[in-house]
Structure 1
Amino acid sequence: MRTALRTAIATALVAGVAITAPALAAGAAFAADGPVAVSAPGAKPADTGAKPADTAPATGTGKTADTKGQDTGKDGVFVRNQILPNGATARIVKLGDTHYRAEILKEGQRVGTLEADGHPVAGNDDGTFLVLFETGLTSTWQGNYLPGARPGVYELADGTRVELTLKYGGYDLRTVEKSGEGRVLVHLNGTRKVGVLGKAVLVVEPDGGFAAYINGSTRQAAPKLVETPDTTPAPAPKPTPGPVVTLGECTVQQDIPSVFALLTVTLTNDLEKGPKAVLKDEAGKPVVTLDRDHAADLGQGLTIKGANTTTPQLGQRTQGGDTPYAWTAFPKLPKGCEKDAATPTPAPSTTTPAPAGNTGTTVNNGGQTSVVPKGGVAAGAELAAEGDSTALIAAGAGAASLAAAGLGFVVLRRRSAGARG
């Protein structure tokens, strides 16, 4: 009797372990999804109307536990969970090649859904933006938003400019072109829209307000209005000359803007070799070079003034004829390199100066001479102006005639005295 009783108790214990083990395994598999009811073997489960796949997880998504790449049936393939700047979670699911869904969860409850089917879509939760692309990629940020924007040209954080226009009661966001109307990035038809320009992701609201995010940039800001339809566009900033670089003891160089767009001119001032100007294209390749021996190129509208001085100037113009030049001084030579004057010194005269004493000959600055008669004739003589060789010859001839007349007068007196004696 005792042996039979011990055998019955042992059998019952083994049976209990066999029932409990499957129940614990089931509870561990869905631990994250809440308690699971376990039925005894052979018993039919209670008819609650719920299927196993519909068991509500703790996240409140109505889905099974998220595992990357897991097929969730009609709900597609789970891709990832993404935390948004405001603390919410976006559950990304792939539904097709260009079809993705983002379910927005806050504190375990779904508060919104975005579905990108062939084009990007955006959500705005009080300034927190989420853009879901049809490729499954996302962009999310907080701020950078300008509410109720008015038509005009706006500048983004990276310097890109876009134009917001209002036509036929709807807003368009366009690129800004130098001539003509820009390309349409976003056309609103009453719903929030997404546009992309370079690295900038743009979200435009139905009231014209829009936000911008520069992917991969640490510099972010809301779009800034820089021009309105009733204002004159601000002129583009003019290019400025580069710094003066010293290449040698008396050699300096500087890059300046050309009068032709995108071109530059490299100016070199060298005490020994003189000035040099090199016109370069946008790639830095030389187009034409000016120096002392070749100081002008009319075809390119360039000329050097004062090429033989230490203070030369470069003249530039885009048109020929009487168009005035725009003058730019070459970089100034370092201190101690100004031994040449701005105007070259005249060459010394080769005329030999007159010896000391009164010889009747004077030397003028032009190297020409004039004879000054002596005696009574000299007192009334008038010399020709400097450099007038014809008058000088005439004066010399007159003086010779007068001298001959005086000589004749002396001979005549001697003849008269002889006759009287």
Structure 2
Amino acid sequence: MRTALRTAVATALLAGLAVTPVVAGTAFAADAPAAAAENNGTLVRTETLDNGNVVKVYKLGLTWYRAEAFKNGVSIGTIEANGRPAAGNDNGNYLVLFEDGRTLAWRGNVVSPAEPGLYRLADGTVVELGKNPKDGRFGLQTVDATGKGSGFVYAYHPVRSVWTYGKAVVVLENDGGLAAYVPGQARQAAPVHLGAGVDPKPAPKPGTVLSGPTANGCTVTEKIASVFPYWTVTLTNDLKKGPKAVLKDDTDKVVGTADRQHPVDGRYGLKIEGADTTTPKLGQRTQGGDMPYRWVDFPKLPGNCTTTPTATPSATSTPAPTTGTGTQGGQTTVVPKGGVAAGAEFGTVEHANDTALLASGAGAAAVVAAGLGLTVLRRRAADRG
């Protein structure tokens, strides 16, 4: 691997994220006997999507499942996972069916066509897209901070293949298109090509102070690293107005806020405790449910700013006593259902049903459109190039 490539990776990789392919190695089981193809399977789950479509999941064998989608009662396509995950792509609407019956569906987060090279996924994992010189198949590998690759795994299906790298589920089209989704994570994005205009520095540890604190009277501000790789949170502690946290993505766009009046932003995992005191704390997390918060202190006010805040207390906190020292009241926490809040939109992701990846047996539904359908995916042997 070229020295330049190693240098780029060393500065781009988010440390500590490992790759765990959904299926180890590159061997692929042979097609099932012809008689097995007539197996209609046992219906294990029926799901209704937000757009009104219905998906039925059938079990055909120990590691063999089929998902069939219906619109207005008419079948619009099926995909099968037999020993390996399978995927359908209907104009940017992705459905992944795993060989244990789990499903995952999302829209967007795609680069198409994607040129060979290094890509950073939304969870910080760095992968390399390459092409087999022998047969022209595209493949993927993870690359560590030294530039060493884990070894390419090439497309195993005639249409598209699926792997899990880090926390991200990745769909690779046979023409090189690349899509990814991080189950349960609020922050979603298309794979980022690590080329011109992309900040290649490693993501700092969450909570790391990036700038400040800067004081202006009884208002103090500092910027810290978010729990989302390459995102930041600007913390402002104001004696009169109270604390405020502003979450920005890696393009410096504001995506979430929390303050005294609204101390919880459940969509992006922000929570302020002690919002009516002079010593508030910020909690951050990437998922809902029982995912624990990472806590950091807001910047301290100057020593002469000790008066109890006089702003109207938030609806979720007990009013501060009149003793001169604020106290933390009860908090009302917004807890998203499943991995993320139901119905939330995350950037280019219109909606994702990913509960199945967090709770076994509760598969999410596919997002498909009438007229295009999904190609039946049959298992064919494919040698690793």
TM-score after normalising by structure 1: 0.37
Q: Which is higher, the Rg of structure 1 or of structure 2?
A: 1
TM-score after normalising by structure 2: 0.40
Q: Using CA pairs below 8 Å that are at least 6 residues apart, which structure has the higher relative contact order?
A: 2
Task: Return the structure number with greater helix share.
Answer: 1
